[in-house]
Amino acid sequence: MNRILLGTTAIVGLLAAGSAGAADLARAPVYKAPPAMVAPYYNWTGFYVGGYVGGAWGNNVRVTNVNTADTWNYDLGSSFIGGGTAGLNYQIGQWVWGVEGEVGYIHLTGSAADPLALTNVSSSRVGDAFGVIAGRLGFAWDRALLYVKGGGAFVDVNTNIAVSGVTIATGGNTLATYAIGGGLEYGLWDNWSVKAEYLYLGLHETVDAVTAGGANTFHHDFDGISTAKLGLNYRFNWGGPVVARY
C-alpha cells in the first residue's frame, strides 16, 4: 500500500512540474532570428577615364581603274593601336547603361601592282588616327560586366596610284562609319577596372584616287577593320557599393 502511495505521489509531482515548465515557456519572450546579411555588390555607376592598347587588322582593298576596267586586290596589314577612353555608366539592378568615346592611333597599310600593267601600283593607308562614339549595354555579376557596344566611328583613309614610282593620282578622306562589338570588364578595386574588347569598324567605303585634271580615276573599295584591345579604366563613382538585390 505504501509503495502505491509513493508511486502516485511521484507521478503527481512530475505532472505538476511539467505544467509549471509549460507555463514558464508560454510566458517567455519570443526572439526572432536576425535578418540575413545581404552583401553589397560592385557599383558601376559613374564617370570614367582610361587607356588601352591592342591591335587591328584589315581585310581586302579592291582597286578598279575606271579607264581600263582593270581590277586587282590586296590586303591591309596589321597595326598596333593605342589611345584614351572616357565614358559614363549608370547601373539599375544588374543592368548597366552607358556612353563611351575613344580616340587612338592606328596605321594599316597595303599595296599591290596591277597584274595587267605592272608599272601601276596602288597603295592605301588607314590612319594614323581614329575615333569612336558608342553606347554600351551590359549585364553585371558583381565585379564582372559583360557588355555590347555600338555607335559611330571616324577613320582617316588615304590612297594613291604610282606609275614607275611616280605618284600620278591621290585621294583621301575622313570616313564616318559604324562600329559594333562587345567585351568583358572586371572591377579590380572600388574605382579601377580592366577590360578586354573586340570592336569592328565597318569601313565598307569607296575612296577615289584621281589624276591631275580628273583624266583618270581609280576606285578603292575597302572592307571592314577588326580591332582587339586591353584597357584600364578609373571610375569616379557616385557613392559606395550598392546593396545586392539578386
81 is written with which cell numbers? Answer: 593601336
Rounded to an integer, the average pLDDT of 181-205 is 94
Using the structure block, give the residue that is written with the C-alpha cell 557613392. Answer: 239
Tell me the pLDDT tens digit for each residue of 49-100. Answer: 999 999 999 889 999 999 999 999 999 999 999 999 999 999 999 999 999 9
| pLDDT-based confidence at residue 7 (cuts at 50, 70, 90) | very low
16 lies in a domain? no
Alpha-carbon distance 152 to 83, whole Å?
17
- Position 12 scores a pLDDT of 42
Rounded to an integer, the average pLDDT of 152-171 is 96
Residue 243 has pLDDT above 60, yes or no: no
* pTM for the structure as a whole: 0.80
107 lies in a domain? yes
Closest CA to 223 of 242, 245, 207: 207
165 is written with which cell numbers? Answer: 614610282
17 lies in a domain? no
158 lies in a domain? yes
The answer to whether 146 and 138 are in contact (CB under 8 A) is yes
Using the structure block, give the residue that is written with the C-alpha cell 575622313. Answer: 174
120 lies in a domain? yes
- The count of structural domains within the chain is 1
70 is written with which cell numbers? Answer: 582593270
Q: What does pLDDT average to over the chain?
A: 87
Residue 239 has pLDDT above 70, yes or no: no
Phi, psi of 212 (to 5 degrees): -55, 130
Residue 4 has pLDDT above 90, yes or no: no
23 lies in a domain? no
H, E, C per residue of the chain: CHHHHHHHHHHHHHHHHHHHHHHHHHHCCCCCCCCCCCCEECCCCEEEEEEEEEEEEECEEEEEECCCCCEEEEECCEEEEEEEEEEEEEEECCEEEEEEEEEEEEEEEEEEEECCEEEEEEEEEEEEEEEEEEEEEEEEECCEEEEEEEEEEEEEEEEEEEECCEEEEEEEEEEEEEEEEEEEEEECCCCEEEEEEEEEECCCCEEEEEEHHHCCEEEEEECCEEEEEEEEEEEEECCCCEECCC
| pLDDT-based confidence at residue 35 (cuts at 50, 70, 90) | low
CATH no. for residue 179? 2.40.160.20
The answer to whether 193 and 186 are in contact (CB under 8 A) is yes
6 lies in a domain? no
Q: What percent of the chain has pLDDT over 90?
A: 74
208 lies in a domain? yes
Higher pLDDT, 188 or 8: 188
Domain span holding position 173: 48-243
Tell me the pLDDT tens digit for each residue of 112-146. Answer: 999 999 999 999 999 999 999 999 999 999 999 99
